Structure 1
Amino acid sequence: MKTLLLLRHAKSSWADPGRADHDRELNRRGEKAAPFMGRYLRQHELVPDLIWCSTAARAVQTLGLLGRDFATDADVIYNEDLYMASERVLLENLHHTHEDAKHVMFIGHNPGIEIFAQSLYGGGNIEAREIMARKYPTCGLAHFEFDVDHWGEITPGSGRLIDFIKVKDLQAIKISAE
């Protein structure tokens, strides 16, 4: 059994129109969102063994703001190919994941992350799929499981979607609980 988490980077800033897209950092909303997702992942015991992360500033910053667990417990592979990667590139990278990793996370960008998540769906949580299909917001997370022994066995349509989590919903839960 393999677990895959597909996280779109948190909300980025457009404050400096002259800055290269790859170098754009998070805005305040993004800086607040990533720690919410990090807490959710820890509370649900979803801290990955391995993280594939785009080299874009906003993806790297998102990873850093998820929390300390993600920097120390998980191996991180920063890969320039993940910047604006297509579904094909994401799948190729997944296939190159070492077999010791059982729980893997990708931190990347739309439209690639969204298209990849849609392509992997082979069943599972239908309501989560519908929510994911409507909009894959910044810091949105798709949680998949695969009944395979090797990452290279994963194909489009082979994933079971467990859940799709939006930070906006996590923030609403926290606010209503206070």
Structure 2
Amino acid sequence: MSVAEPRRIVLFRHAKADWPQVSDHERPLAERGRRDAPVAGRKLADSGVTFDLALCSTAARTRETWKLAVAELPDRPRTVYEERIYEASPGELIAVLNETPDDVNNIVLIGHNPGVQALSEILTADAEGDARERLDRRGFPTAAFCVLTYSGPWKGLEPGTATLVDYWAPSE
């Protein structure tokens, strides 16, 4: 891959979860989450990014979010359920992304806050259009995602090496 062909990284927060009497890891989506996840999937499809790989937390709410969202995509990427994404810090998420094989061009990471929002802020050096303003104004609510571009090998991904090109969050 040449530096002229940027990779796409989508950071996608799980949809709204319910609070039943189960462990945090096993919390399912709430009704609103089950409505928002397919909408987010359609917005991802509209972005035109074709994903080579999805990295999804093993938590029930992220798995359910991804199942509902991916059904809206024209092409289903290979999905890896990665337990290290659950409760991960931005540094831990970067370490997971650094392990991505270089034949993977576009990736979606389905995770949790505060890690996903912090990672978007840490990776972003520049932003296109009003994407940063929209992200700063809305934060990273459930079912939100941002699209970053990055040029270089995955093991070279580090703070300040990506550009924020798009951001979307469901209306409340």
TM-score above 0.5: yes
- Considering fraction of residues, name the structure with more helix: 1
Which of 34, 40, 57 is the aligned partner of 1:54?
57
Q: Which residue of 2 aligns with 1:174?
A: none
Tell me by how many angstroms 1:101 deviates.
Answer: 1.1
> Relative to structure 1, is the Cα distance of residues 108 and 41 closer, same or farther in structure 2, using a 3 angstrom cutoff?
same
Q: Which residue of 1 aligns with 2:12?
A: 7
Q: Is contact 1:41–1:47 with CA below 8 Å preserved after alignment?
A: no
Q: Which residue of 2 aligns with 1:175?
A: none
Show structure 1 runs of 5+ residues with no match: 170-178
Tell me by how many angstroms 1:44 deviates.
Answer: 2.2
Tell me by how many angstroms 1:125 deviates.
Answer: 2.5
Q: CA RMSD in A?
A: 1.7
Q: TM-score, normalised by structure 1?
A: 0.87
> Relative to structure 1, is the Cα distance of residues 32 and 59 closer, same or farther in structure 2, using a 3 angstrom cutoff?
same
> Relative to structure 1, is the Cα distance of residues 157 and 111 closer, same or farther in structure 2, using a 3 angstrom cutoff?
same
Tell me by how many angstroms 1:71 deviates.
Answer: 10
Is residue 147 of structure 2 the alignment partner of residue 143 of structure 1?
yes
Q: Is contact 1:140–1:166 with CA below 8 Å preserved after alignment?
A: yes
Q: Which residue of 1 aligns with 2:111?
A: 108
Q: Which residue of 2 aligns with 1:120?
A: 123
Secondary structure of the 1:19 match is: coil
Show structure 2 runs of 5+ residues with no match: 1-5
* More deviation, 160-169/57-66: 160-169
Is residue 35 of structure 2 the alignment partner of residue 44 of structure 1?
no
1:16-165 matched pairs, under 5 angstroms: 16=20, 18-68=21-71, 73-125=76-128, 127-134=130-137, 135-148=139-152, 150-165=153-168
Number of aligned residue pairs: 166
**Counterparts of 1:158 and 1:93, CA distance in 2:** 16
**Counterparts of 1:92 and 1:67, CA distance in 2:** 24
> Relative to structure 1, is the Cα distance of residues 60 and 38 closer, same or farther in structure 2, using a 3 angstrom cutoff?
same
Secondary structure of the 2:54 match is: strand
Q: TM-score, normalised by structure 2?
A: 0.90
Instruction: Give the AA of the match of 2:64.
Output: Q
Give the % identical residues: 33
Tell me by how many angstroms 1:69 deviates.
Answer: 5.9
Instruction: Give the AA of the match of 1:109.
Output: H
